[in-house]
Each structure stands twice: as structure tokens, then as C-alpha cells.
Amino acid sequence: MRLSSSAFLLLVLTPAVSFTQQKSDALSVSVVAFEWKSERRSFTGSAETAVAVPQMIPENRNFQRAARAQQTPGAQDPNDQTIDGRSSAIEKNVQESRKRKAEPVNGFAYTVKIRNDGSTLVEVVFVEFRFVEKARPSNVVRRQFVCVANITPGEKKELRVFSTAGPSDVISTDSLSDRNAKLFTEIAFVNRTEDSKGVIVQRSDWKFAEVRNGLLSATSTPWGMESCRPI
């Protein structure tokens, strides 16, 4: 999904100028389900190779082409010796060298299903997963994401994001004493919404300034088919 929301792009540049901002806990969207799990993903680049149209050499005429089809496998293709053929081979090698080769990445998939209870299209949502270690409640970890949602009134939509950051960077030895015990108290909620009318509503205890740098980083490169990115 491309990051095409004009409101969101303007927000990144001038967050306090062009919008009606409201600080309120009365958000028009609600989280109806959420989950997270470990996941291993492979990221590979892609390259499109430009193929030159073969020159009209004698060997490409009907009779010669039919004769060449009867040749012994492995025989050299006359097209490879033309200027176009050699250029195509060079271009193919260049494109192959530019392919991004990456090892599989271990991370976590975060999924949240959101319902729009309001009367306007919700274009952007800021989602948070919060983890509190049961054995050590002072260990609170927040994982935040920005999503281009485009949820119509009354619609439910599932949003998913992959991140290398898990529920906690560190964990106490007390939590590891019982392997079958649940390690965290978990909750997911929406911190902020932006609708199609330019109205921004956010939780009263949430501060945009805390995620501004992360948001700028998340939107610094073009988006592909993903709907969410970590911030």
C-alpha cells in the first residue's frame, strides 16, 4: 500500500498547522482483537532485466530459424554475437549484481484488528502494543506502529506489521523460573487517529513528540504493499 494520505504527509512536516487537533480519550476506533508471534522472514530484491529486440540477421529468417531449431543442444545462438545480444547479456549481468541478497531475518509479527465506530473515513492510526513483565512490573515495553488504514465507518480491518523488536529486550530470571507461565500482561490500543476531514484525535496521555523522529524515519523511504511500519 502506498503512503498516499495527504493528511499524513502534511502531518509529518507541519504537525500543528493544517489540522484540527483534539486531545481526547474518546477515539472513534477501537481494537477488537490483537496478537503477536515470532516470525522468520526472507527479504529479497528484484530486478527487471531489459531485453533487447534481436537484430534481423540472416540467421533469424524463417528458413534459418527452422534449421537452427534442429541443431544439437548447446549450439551457440547467433543472436548472442550481435550488438543487441551482447548489450542484453551485459545488462542482465548488471541487473543481477544489483539484486539485494539478504539472509532470513528473525523477528515478530504484530497483528491488530480495528473497528471504526465513527462516521468518517479513518485514514491513519497510531497503534501501540504494551507489554508488562509479570514478575517485574517495572519492566514496561511499548512497541508503536503507524498504519495507513483507510477504514470506512462501521468497517473492521486487520493491520499487520513485521518488526525485529520483540516484547522485551531484557527479562528477569524470575520470569524464566516457570517455562509454562505467561511472561507478560499484554494490551493493544490506538493512540491517535487522523480522518479524511483532517481531524486528529489522540489519547490525552500520549505525546506525538515522542514518536516524531521514528515517524520521520518510517516515512523516509517509499512504501510498498505494507500498511504499517514500526516507529
pLDDT digits (tens, 9 = 90+) for 183-221: 899 999 999 999 999 999 999 999 999 999 999 999 999
Here the cell at position 85 is 545480444
Residues 127, 147 contacting (CB under 8 angstroms): yes
- Confidence class for position 64, pLDDT limits 50, 70, 90: low
CA gap 189, 204 in Å, rounded: 13
pTM above 0.75, yes or no: no
CA gap 79, 74 in Å, rounded: 14
* Helix runs in the chain, H state only: 6-13, 62-69, 83-98, 212-218
* CA within 13 Å, CB half, 87: 9
Query: Which pLDDT belongs to residue 183?
Result: 86
Residues 182, 113 contacting (CB under 8 angstroms): no
